A = this chain, B = another copy of it.
Amino acid sequence: MAKTRSWWGWGNVEDAVVGAEREALTKRVAAILPGTDLTVHEPPSVESLELPEPRVAVPDSLAGLASTDHADRAAHAHGQAFRDVVRNLMGDVQNPPDVVVRPRNEADIVDVLDWASRANVAVIPFGGGTSVVGGVEPRIGDHGRSVGTNGDHDFAGAISLDLAALDQVLEIDRTSRAARIQAGVFGPALEDQLRGADLTLRHFPQSFEFSTLGGWLATRAGGHFATLYTHIDDLTESMRVVTPSGISESRRLPGSGAGPSPDRMFLGSEGSLGVITEAWMRLQDRPRWRATASVHFDDYGAAVAATRAIAQSGLYPTNCRLLDPAEAFLNAGAATSGGVLVLGFESADHPTRTWMERALELVADHGGTLPEPARYTESTGHQDGAAAADTWRSSFLRMPYQRDALAAQSMITETFETACTWDKFDNLKTTVTEAANEAIRSVGATGVVTCRFTHVYPDGPAPYFGIYAAGRWGSTLAQWDDIKSAVSEALSATGGTITHHHAVGRDHRPWYDRQRPDPFAHALRAAKSALDPAGILNPGVLI
């Protein structure tokens, strides 16, 4: 039976944290942050929300695609950032789209963009709505005034363009291991449609169940693979994009040197240059052999050096997630003074024992130890392997639900992520952690900051920080904004990127604007003007 999407928080209503899980979670937090007021505040009902009246209506020709339903507008008013969830809990939904429009096909999208360009209506492409950076919120400002640096563009209104009807795998090329896929398909439905061909995209962001291919492409999502194919970019063979100036379709190519890559312009364009409707994606055979190990360290510096050695070894692990001691304790229940490195190799072609054994030599060289021996498994059916990995996966997938449960208990539980070169990492981690702790203190809260690597490269890691702080009910939004600002400043100052895979959206704009080279900003703005002359596409994002 179909579950019900929560209007205000992560995922499905039926999967929310309740009962024994909530009790256990509350106990855990109380143990770490004693004295915290963990009263549960229930979200308002969607019916009780006061939404502004729609400012615009679509023409009759598009009426069949449009919804002004109250709950529909509320559900399209935000993404899934902590700040979105908190505002929802407060009943503070100021920027719903005037209309939710659900195109059935590309022709509908062309019609919508034509009308919106003429009618001066902002168009926010909407996939699964899991943006954690304000990327899908129609925040076009009071009275339709844009808050983007684009200047003083006034919009008549804003629509959310929900692409969920474009949900089909249209074509599978078994020989090249690729498929032509519509952009509105959600992760599970995508994998379901590939299963018959015994292929998989193997792109598993934490949002997998609730996000779409188009969203992954538009935001350069990070996925399953810790090395090599870290971003959806690397799995993209070609793209089809509807822009107000015409449809852009790149040629299916495994590689090319013919000028700057067209796909690389649309990857990460966050709906500001066009609406992605289809892509040819590179697929994988379903893995058969797996090797997994958890390596403990007494010294965090040694753990980082071991991880770097593996990242530079040419072994290319599928998983290479270094948890710092706080992260290892809080999220994996492991007490270490140097952290835990979760290592995994997988292959559809060959046993990966040799790979793992060499990696374990490298970690041993840096003082890593194995409380339990590495596990080597072989699966022959479609089921997805090792128990340990499954445990991590389900705990990983529960995290956003737990964040929301805690948000309703005045906790500030949020993440920020980056990437930097290895030479800068020690300083970045120290500076960022200090800045976060100082900011937590200065907003009158107490809390913990943790760090793990989600992906690693030969030249640097992608650190992912978690914050768990006890906030004050009614103030957690302002408290988080202060913390987020302080952390973003620190990331920026120590050489990190403002985002490795969460995208820029509206929330990361100030730091993105400083990070990107000015001439590139000019060029991107010019490109947008060429593709979207009326400037209607996701205004305020990126440009």
Closest chain B residue, CB of each to CB of A517: B248
Say yes or no: is A228 at the interface (Cβ < 8 Å to chain B).
yes
Interface size class of A (residues with CB under 8 A): 35 or more
Say yes or no: is A423 at the interface (Cβ < 8 Å to chain B).
yes
Q: Mark out the residues of chain A between 215 and 256 whose CB falls within 8 Å of any chain B CB in the assembled complex.
A: 219-222, 228, 230-231, 237, 241, 243, 245-256
Q: Is the CB of A512 within 8 A of B178?
A: no
A459-B268 contact given A519-B531, A525-B530, CB 8 Å threshold: no
Say yes or no: is A394 at the interface (Cβ < 8 Å to chain B).
no
Interface residues in chain A, defined as those with a beta carbon under 8 Å from any beta carbon in chain B:
173, 175-178, 219-222, 228, 230-231, 237, 241, 243, 245-262, 264-270, 273-274, 282, 285, 308, 312-316, 347-350, 354, 358, 362, 419-423, 455, 457-462, 495-504, 508, 512, 515-520, 522-527, 529-531, 542
Q: Is the CB of A265 within 8 A of B178?
A: no
* Bound complex: CA A525 to CA B259 (Å): 12
Q: Which of B228, B255, B419, B523 contacts A462 (CB 8 A)?
A: B255
Q: Is the CB of A347 within 8 A of B257?
A: no
Q: Which of B258, B264, B313 contacts A515 (CB 8 A)?
A: B258
A256-B175 contact given A519-B274, A523-B530, CB 8 Å threshold: no
A173-B461 contact given A253-B497, A258-B516, A273-B523, CB 8 Å threshold: no
Closest chain B residue, CB of each to CB of A346: B314
Q: Is the CB of A262 within 8 A of B520?
A: yes
* Bound complex: CA A265 to CA B516 (Å): 12
CB distance from A214 to the nearest CB of B (A): 15
7 A-B residue pairings within 8 Å (CB atoms)? A250-B517, A254-B421, A258-B508, A261-B264, A264-B264, A265-B520, A526-B526
Q: Is the CB of A459 within 8 A of B176?
A: yes
Q: Is the CB of A518 within 8 A of B248?
A: yes
Q: Is the CB of B177 within 8 A of A237?
A: no
Q: Is the CB of A519 within 8 A of B173?
A: no
Q: Is the CB of B502 within 8 A of A422?
A: no
Q: Is the CB of A257 within 8 A of B502?
A: yes
* Bound complex: CA A273 to CA B260 (Å): 11
Q: Is the CB of A531 within 8 A of B522?
A: yes
Q: Is the CB of A500 within 8 A of B459?
A: no
Q: Which of A250, A255, A262, A495 has the most CB of B within 10 A?
A: A255
* Bound complex: CA A520 to CA B326 (Å): 47
Q: Is the CB of A259 within 8 A of B458?
A: no
* Bound complex: CA A247 to CA B173 (Å): 44
* Bound complex: CA A358 to CA B261 (Å): 34
A516-B254 contact given A314-B349, A423-B176, CB 8 Å threshold: no
Q: Which residues of B contact A258 (CB under 8 A)?
A: 268, 497-499, 503-504, 508, 512, 515-516
Given A176-B460, A231-B255, A255-B500; 4 other pairs, CB 8 A cutoff: A248-B519, A258-B515, A259-B524, A313-B350
CB distance from A533 to the nearest CB of B (A): 10
Q: Which of B222, B252, B421, B503 contacts A253 (CB 8 A)?
A: B421
CB distance from A187 to the nearest CB of B (A): 18
